[in-house]
Chains A and B, each alone.
Chain A
Amino acid sequence: MKKYRKLKSNALLQKIVQKDYLKSRVLHRLGPSAWVTSGFPVEILRAMGISPFYPENYGALCAARKASARLCQEAEDRGYSRELCAYGRNHLGSLYNPSRAPLKGLPRPDLLLACNNICGTVLKWYQTLSRELQVPLFFLDTPYRSGGDNGEGAVSYVEKQLHTLVEFLEGRTGRKLNEDRLLETLELSAEATRLWAKVRDMGKHRPSPINAPDLFVNMAPIVVLRGTKQAADYYRVLLAELEGRVAAGEGALLRENFRLLWDNIAIWHRVLSFYSMFTEYGACFVVDTYTGAWSGTWDAGEDPYRSMARVYTRIMLNQGIESRAAAMLKDAKDYGVDGFVMHANRSCKPYSQLQLPLRRVLTENTGLPGLLVEADMCDPRNYAAESIKTRVEAFLENLA
């Protein structure tokens, strides 16, 4: 029996993402391109006509297409430890053996741009890429904001580096950054971010018109099309569909029995089978900590560089445990959840190493039940299907 309502907007989403991909492939032959980390201030690139490609997003795609295990293996065969982040291994594998990689891998870049506001792993990964490809790397250092009072100092430091970044890009590509274009791009980016925040807010309705797996699929534009008109346009369409659902009293699930909070990156290689276990029980993930990571908006009243510096150092994974705990507690309350599920993601240490203490904080403060699932966002070999199924079912039965 059908238990899930499919979003109509998704057909449009697929078209947009595919079109953008084809366009980038062509543009990349005509102009400069770069491989970038998901938290890189891409607005500057967009304003300069440099095409960005996202290896992390490519990792999600490979996992969904069941290619990531063999690509990770390609990297492991060349000496990379199986304990390294699978996005990195998957990407290196696609480089070593493009014939086995979806879309034959990402087009070779002219530049590598990494920012450590999500993790330190990207620094090492991009250093490796820089050596393998002999392509210059710009590393943007966004200090971790925790404990110490490095707020404004860190912002000034990042702001300075953003100016150097522009010099680096201009020097390498021969293109000049047009400040007006930058402002336009930042505004488009902010518009998409505001709309995306509204999309995510829709989960507060009962029943929720959106479930986290929908958010995982629909986050693509906020990541890979940030700073484009298409992103904002798409989110308007999606938002309208969700508002329609709310007006009609329709939820993402045909019957919403429980409302849950999801923590960590999606299990991309099991997006259907994993989350359908929850759908079976009418458990909807009304909120998650992952898809809100791209939530900072540029402040038009401030110098654009300073404002970007502020937004990009405030990425969720770059904040200490206290901010993460506070955000989760707030979400649990605002969205009225009945429990939470944490994906202990073997690949991602910065996301997962704080989960045990966070779980304790959540349980102590809310009394809500929580489940910790050990898996991996991109390496299906780190997924013990049977034991996960047993644990998930036990958790859901307890909720009932």
Chain B
Amino acid sequence: MKPDKEISYDDILAKKGRRYLGYFCSYVPEEIFHAAGYTPVRLLPRPRPLGEADAHLPVNTCSLARSCLELAFSKRGAGFSAFAFAHTCDTMQCLADIFRTRLPDKPVFNLIGPVNREASGAREFLLQQLEALIGQVNPAAERKITSSRLLKSIKAYNKLRLQLDQLHKKRRELPAVEFYRLVQAAMLLPKEEALELIKGSRAHREEAAPHALLAGGEEKPGIYLHGGMLYDLSLVSLIEDLGGRVAGDNLCSGTRYFNLPLVKPLPGEGPLEALADRYLKRLPCAAKHPTLDDTEGHLVRDVAESKAAGVVFLHDVFCEPHSWDLVILQNSLQSTGIPHITIEMDHMGVTEQIRGRLQAFMERLKGDL
């Protein structure tokens, strides 16, 4: 697999000899499944022909849910041995129920963790839930999850997160499509394979092209991407074609996948406590109860740190949690004077209208430089 090529589910699932776990969200503790012998493969939204999923979900359901249900029902989806959810938004809540009842032959796991990480008893409850999850995975898995296996998996994932974090810090040197392909590789491929790819990438070979500069030598305007899922990278290519660069992001399929802290057991505590602590300390997603600072505070700071000139919100109109946050975030960027634009995505690729709007936005940013 090469980072310049789109990674398809066909290719992944065609490889025999592994037990693939289709999983939905960065709150799913992949380490637990990895330790049980599963190969976790993230489910991402793809351009989607109409199909069987429409008989199960109303039309105002986000395209992530619809296209992944379609995948699970398809012939290709038969390659998954099991599925895993983590409770987040109302749609995921319902989708997990649909998977469980419509695909009765496969285990469908669901980690129902706390929504409010600051609630009293949140950590204790989460620990119980993680233990319960292990109790469910063990009978279905090919090998039993032991503490040492889990620690080994945690190590592997920490390594991967660290590599992705380093890549993220060097993203100025790297075409954005390549960066996101590598993040996708980490989510989709066996971890060992993904690590090799990342290590072999241009950024790591220290032969990075002066990718961030315009022909005249000045810095390209940086764009910060904010929203849920991004799978089809044509929009990212377009930003670069229009003379911009992607400086940073807060996406489910971007930095929210690997953001630190790492999973580190505290002295006297075990791997589950460590997994719980990362869950509670990581940058929360829109469906969790964040502190005020997690939302607009984090965005404004992260935009400044990444030296982005403007923000592009990638928005699925049917996504409730992000729709609510969008207004708050737009208003706070307005008041801090950071230019921004909202692109409505249905994961059907870049339309002429999107191209036109993005072009105008890029012209504006270049004018501001």
Instruction: Check A349 against B323 for contact (C-beta < 8 Å).
Output: no
How close is B63's CB to chain A, nearest CB, in angstroms?
13
**Interface core residue of B60, B121, B320, B330 (most chain A CB under 10 Å):** B320
Q: Which residue of chain B has the shortest Cβ distance to A320 in the bound complex?
A: B97
Instruction: Check A148 against B110 for contact (C-beta < 8 Å).
Output: yes
Chain B, residues 126-166, CB within 8 Å of chain A (1/0): the string is: 00110011001000000000000000000000000000000
User: Residue A125 at the B interface, CB < 8 A?
Assistant: yes
User: Residue A160 at the B interface, CB < 8 A?
Assistant: yes
- Choose, from A185-193, A223-231, A267-275, A350-358, the stretch at the interface: A350-358
Instruction: Check B324 against A127 for contact (C-beta < 8 Å).
Output: yes
Contacts of B55 in A (CB 8 A): 356
Contacts of B58 in A (CB 8 A): 344, 346, 352-353, 355-356
Q: Which residue of chain A has the shortest Cβ distance to B99 in the bound complex?
A: A147
CB interface residues, B 276-334, toward A, < 8 Å: 286-287, 289-290, 292, 317-318, 320-321, 323-328, 330-331
Contacts of A156 in B (CB 8 A): 121, 124-125
**Interface core residue of A127, A163, A353, A357 (most chain B CB under 10 Å):** A353
Instruction: Check A120 against B121 for contact (C-beta < 8 Å).
Output: no
Contacts A146-B96, A148-B110 known; A357 to B102 CB distance under 8 Å? yes
User: Residue A161 at the B interface, CB < 8 A?
Assistant: yes
Instruction: Check B116 against A120 for contact (C-beta < 8 Å).
Output: no
Contacts A84-B320, A131-B328 known; A121 to B289 CB distance under 8 Å? no
Contacts A141-B115, A148-B133, A148-B136 known; A353 to B323 CB distance under 8 Å? no
Complex Cα distance, B174 from A352, in Å, reads 44
Contacts of B93 in A (CB 8 A): 120, 144, 146, 350
Complex Cα distance, B97 from A127, in Å, reads 27
- Choose, from B83-91, B176-184, B239-247, B253-261, the stretch at the interface: B83-91
- Choose, from A13-21, A74-82, A196-204, A326-334, the stretch at the interface: A74-82
How close is B346's CB to chain A, nearest CB, in angstroms?
12
How close is B341's CB to chain A, nearest CB, in angstroms?
13
Contacts A143-B112, A148-B132, A160-B120 known; A84 to B97 CB distance under 8 Å? no
Contacts A147-B96, A147-B110, A148-B136 known; A124 to B60 CB distance under 8 Å? no
User: Residue B74 at the A interface, CB < 8 A?
Assistant: no
Chain B, residues 59-93, CB within 8 Å of chain A (1/0): the string is: 01100000000000000000000000001111101
Number of interface residues of B (CB under 8 A): 57
Instruction: Check B132 against A150 for contact (C-beta < 8 Å).
Output: yes
Q: Which residue of chain B has the shortest Cβ distance to A119 in the bound complex?
A: B90
Instruction: Check B323 against A81 for contact (C-beta < 8 Å).
Output: yes
Q: Which residue of chain B has the shortest Cβ distance to A152 in the bound complex?
A: B128
User: Residue A149 at the B interface, CB < 8 A?
Assistant: yes
Complex Cα distance, B112 from A157, in Å, reads 12
Complex Cα distance, B342 from A79, in Å, reads 11
User: Residue B266 at the A interface, CB < 8 A?
Assistant: no
Number of interface residues of A (CB under 8 A): 47
User: Residue A233 at the B interface, CB < 8 A?
Assistant: no
User: Residue A128 at the B interface, CB < 8 A?
Assistant: yes
User: Residue A322 at the B interface, CB < 8 A?
Assistant: yes
Complex Cα distance, B289 from A144, in Å, reads 15
How close is A345's CB to chain B, nearest CB, in angstroms?
9
User: Residue B114 at the A interface, CB < 8 A?
Assistant: yes
Instruction: Check B112 against A144 for contact (C-beta < 8 Å).
Output: yes
Instruction: Check B125 against A157 for contact (C-beta < 8 Å).
Output: yes
User: Residue B202 at the A interface, CB < 8 A?
Assistant: no
Complex Cα distance, B115 from A321, in Å, reads 20
Contacts of B122 in A (CB 8 A): 141, 157
> Which one of A123, A153, A353 contacts B94 once the chains associate, using CB atoms below 8 Å?
A353
Instruction: Check B87 against A143 for contact (C-beta < 8 Å).
Output: yes
User: Residue A383 at the B interface, CB < 8 A?
Assistant: no
Contacts of A79 in B (CB 8 A): 326-327, 330-331
Contacts A153-B132, A356-B55, A356-B57 known; A349 to B94 CB distance under 8 Å? yes
User: Residue B56 at the A interface, CB < 8 A?
Assistant: yes
How close is B92's CB to chain A, nearest CB, in angstroms?
9
Complex Cα distance, B136 from A369, in Å, reads 37
Instruction: Check A350 against B132 for contact (C-beta < 8 Å).
Output: no
Instruction: Check B328 against A147 for contact (C-beta < 8 Å).
Output: no
Instruction: Check A349 against B101 for contact (C-beta < 8 Å).
Output: no
CB interface residues, A 341-400, toward B, < 8 Å: 344, 346, 349-350, 352-357
Complex Cα distance, B327 from A83, in Å, reads 13
**Interface core residue of A128, A154, A349, A356 (most chain B CB under 10 Å):** A349
Instruction: Check B119 against A353 for contact (C-beta < 8 Å).
Output: no
Complex Cα distance, B125 from A125, in Å, reads 25
Instruction: Check A141 against B116 for contact (C-beta < 8 Å).
Output: yes
CB interface residues, A 123-177, toward B, < 8 Å: 123-125, 127-128, 131, 139, 141, 143-144, 146-150, 153-154, 156-157, 160-161, 163-164
Contacts A157-B124, A349-B91 known; A141 to B323 CB distance under 8 Å? no
Complex Cα distance, B120 from A139, in Å, reads 11
Contacts A81-B317, A148-B132, A353-B58 known; A154 to B125 CB distance under 8 Å? yes
Complex Cα distance, B321 from A119, in Å, reads 11
Instruction: Check A125 against B324 for contact (C-beta < 8 Å).
Output: yes
Complex Cα distance, B321 from A120, in Å, reads 8
**Interface core residue of A125, A157, A350, A355 (most chain B CB under 10 Å):** A157
Q: A144-B112, A349-B60 provided; 9 other pairs, C-beta below 8 A?
A: A83-B317, A127-B290, A141-B119, A143-B87, A164-B120, A321-B100, A353-B61, A353-B90, A357-B102
Give the B-binding residues of A (Cβ under 8 A). 78-81, 83-85, 116, 119-121, 123-125, 127-128, 131, 139, 141, 143-144, 146-150, 153-154, 156-157, 160-161, 163-164, 320-322, 344, 346, 349-350, 352-357
Identify 9 residue pairs between A and B in the complex whose beta-carbon atoms are under 8 Å apart, listed by A's number: A120-B90, A120-B115, A120-B321, A124-B321, A127-B328, A146-B97, A146-B110, A150-B132, A157-B124
Q: Give me the 9 closest cross-chain CB pairs, A-B, nearest first.
A: A124-B324, A160-B121, A353-B94, A157-B125, A321-B97, A153-B128, A141-B116, A350-B90, A79-B327
